[in-house]
Every structure is written in structure tokens, then in C-alpha cells.
Amino acid sequence: MNTDKTLPLAGIRVIEFTHMVMGPTCGLILADLGAEVIKIEPIAGDNTRKLLGSGAGFFGTFNRNKKSLAVDVKDPRGREIVLRLVGQADVFSENFKGGTMDKLGFGYAALSRLNSGLVYVSHKGFLPGPYEHRTALDEVVQMMGGLAYMTGPEGRPLRAGTSVNDIMGGMFGAIGALAALQERHRTGRGQEVQSALFENNVFLVAQHMTQFAVTGKPASPMPSRISAWAVYDVFNVKDGEQIFLAAVSDTQWALMCDEFGFADLKADPRLASNNARVQARDWMMPLLRERFAALGAAELGARFEKIGLPYAPITRPQDLLDDPHLLATGGLAPVTLPADASGAGRTVDTRTALLPLTLGGERLGLRCAPPALGQDTYDILAGLGFSADEIEQFCHAQVVKTPQAAEAATA
């Protein structure tokens, strides 16, 4: 595993003023790349620490390799702490509603005067324009950005099953931050970077926009589209199992027919090419479904793998925690989530998915688990020059919170 000293962003300090998924994803990427990411949290903690249901995994997933500073930024003393940090920072990242940062004195104009080299990353619902006043969520932009239409059946728009725009929006925020840091090498000055959910979603469906421009025909939703490949579907097979099977070229079609003894289909002139098979799907697919239905998913997968054809089991997210490929290649890292970061009110031992890339043949690993609320408050304040007495006074006045202070308050 890489250490801080060997990681690309070692020495870069990021002040993260974010919550939920989009902003924390940006900080996660920068932290995994070696930056020191200090997460600014309210005294009560980031709300995602307490979420249940589909939000129970937010904090534990997107806040590893970070430090937690719990501070009341509405108190002038708390704002001064943040401003001292910003004066020593390289990147400031935020994803709050427009105007919130300006009211707190943490807008780009104010912070860039304090630190001209600061790269300021804003994650919003929309880039500046007619929609920028609207409140956006991942689901909102999926609906208005064409993705829900493409995902669901006709008349039933359906959001994607994960926070695709939030996560990718954070990724583009990180990409923008890296580009701005590189430009700072030449100019000595920082700049503002903006990333937005809606524009991210438009990028995701851009291929379908171009498809319409090229063909003159609207793209059909995925469940009713005309596939470019003849065999490219989910099959119901033995014992109620399902498996995705594909044969996307004439060579793959021939291999499949040979492997499963479909000599009649291979010889049928109506199925001689991929395009011909696409046009014959109405009668060809029922035949294939009938023939594959007697075989088990494991056998089908093994035989497709043997001849080099694409296939996939239908996997649930929880199954990936024990995926043999991820375990063998280091794609998962063991992590202990603190009680106030698990959404369950208790410590949780699990595995977490690492960034899907390698540098020099190595995965970017886990250096520290998602922090407990205020876990690093004392050390950060001491590093800013505050004395032990001053820190104790801040804790007593509830300007900041440390785990020790929290324990004393509940004792």
C-alpha cells in the first residue's frame, strides 16, 4: 500500500465544507490521492452520520482518509478557526445551497482575497444560468435530464439505482481541482471550479442526444430499445436463476452455436449476420430462451467463459463484499466504521470499495477509517497555534467539539 509520502497529492491541504454525496466524493478522491482533507462538521455532526435506509452507507463510504474538525462556524471564533485553516490551504470544497458560503464569509471572493493561491471548488445543482436558483437532487436531474426516461420502460421513468450524478459530479469537481492546481504551477494563482448535477447528467445522456442528431430518430428507453446486438439480454434459467448473456459479433454467434449444438440456428440464412439477427429477434430470442432455460446459471457462465463470450451473473450489491476478484486484487479494504459514522449507532467492521484505478500497479488504499465526529479537532487547533487552554475554552463554549469533550459531557 502507498504511504502519504509517496502519494501524488502529498502536501496538499483540502478544506472540505461538504455533506451528503457529491462534495464528499470530491474530497474522497483527493484524500485517496494523498491530500490532507479536513472535513468541517457542525457541532452536531454531518447529517449523513445519522441517515438510515438508502442513506445509511453515505458517510462510511465517502469519508475515509479524512480528518474531522467539529466547529460552530456561526460563532465568530469558529469562523476565525476556519479562516486560519484556509490561509494555509490549497483547496476549499463546498456543496451547499447558493449564497450559504457568502453569508458565512466563506465565498470565493472573500477566501481568494485571503489566499490568492486557493482553488475553490463549488458543487451545485446547476451551473450559472436560468436554472441555478432551483433546488436539485440526483433524482431531480435524472428526471429532467433524460436519464430516468432512458432507464425506465415506456411511460415509467426510473432513476438509476445509485447516486450516479452525485458521485460523478464529485469526480468532475476533483478533476477540475487537479487541473486548477496544475495551472497554479504556472500562474501562482488559484481559481474557482464549478461542477453541477444537471450538466453532469446531460453528459451522461449526450450519446443519445447525438444519436438523434445522426439518425433523426429519438432514442428509445433501454427496456424497449432496438439493441445494436442480437444476443444481449437477461435470461431466466434453471431453478429460477437469471444470467446476462451476449453474442455481439458473427464470430461470437458461431462460437455460441457450436458450443451449445445450435447447428440449425447457425445454418439458418435468416440469421447469417448480426444485423439480420437483430431483425429476427422477435422469433429468435424465444427459441434461445427456451433452449437456455434448462441449464443452470453456473453452467452457462462457465461455458460462455470457456469460449470467451460475455456473460454476467445478476449480482446484488451485498454479494460484492465477498467477490473473489475484488478480494484477490485488493479492490476492497477492511474498515472499521466508528459508531457515529455507521448509521447504526454501533461500530461496524466491513469492507469498502477503493477507487477503481491503479498507480504504478498499486491500488490507492485505506490510510484511515472515516473519522469519528471531531476526532482531529484538538490536533488541528494545536497545529494552528492555539494553546491547550484556548482549546479547552473553545470546547467549554461549544465552539468546537472533540471526542474527549463529548465523552465528558455525557459522563
Q: Give the contacts of 291 (CB within 8 A, at least 6 positions apart).
A: 260, 262
Asked if 349 and 334 touch (Cβ cutoff 8 Å), the reply is yes
Pairing of β 242-247 and β 311-313: antiparallel
Rounded CA separation 338/118 (Å): 32
pLDDT of 3 above 70: no
pLDDT digit string, tens, across residues 308-354: 999 999 999 999 999 999 999 999 999 999 999 877 788 999 999 99
3-class secondary-structure state, position 258: helix
Straight-line distance from the first to the last Cα atom of the chain, in angstroms, rounded to the nearest whole number: 39
The full DSSP string for 36-70 is EEEEEE-TT--GGGS--GGGTTHHHHH-TTEEEEE
pLDDT digit string, tens, across residues 78-117: 999 999 999 999 999 999 998 999 999 999 999 999 999 9
Q: What is the pLDDT of residue 20?
A: 95
Q: What is the pLDDT of residue 225?
A: 75
Q: What is the pLDDT of residue 255?
A: 98
Asked if 10 and 39 touch (Cβ cutoff 8 Å), the reply is no
C-alpha pair distances (Å), 202 with each of 92, 148, 213, 399: 26, 12, 15, 42
State the burial class of residue 122 (Cβ atoms within 10 Å of its Cβ: 0-12, 13-18, 19+). Answer: buried
Rounded CA separation 350/332 (Å): 10
Q: What residue ranges define each of the domains in the chain, with the CATH number in brackets?
A: 4-204+330-404 (3.40.50.10540), 227-313 (3.30.1540.10)
Q: Average pLDDT of the chain?
A: 94
pLDDT digit string, tens, across residues 152-182: 998 999 999 999 999 999 999 999 999 999 9
pLDDT digit string, tens, across residues 389-411: 999 999 999 999 998 654 554 44
pLDDT digit string, tens, across residues 225-264: 777 888 999 999 999 999 999 999 999 999 999 999 999 9
Rounded CA separation 177/182 (Å): 9
Q: What is the pLDDT of residue 410?
A: 46
State the burial class of residue 391 (Cβ atoms within 10 Å of its Cβ: 0-12, 13-18, 19+). Answer: buried
**Bridge partners, residue 245, by sequence:** 233, 311
Q: Please indicate, yes or no, whether the overall pTM of this predicted structure exceeds 0.75.
A: yes
pLDDT of 148 above 60: yes
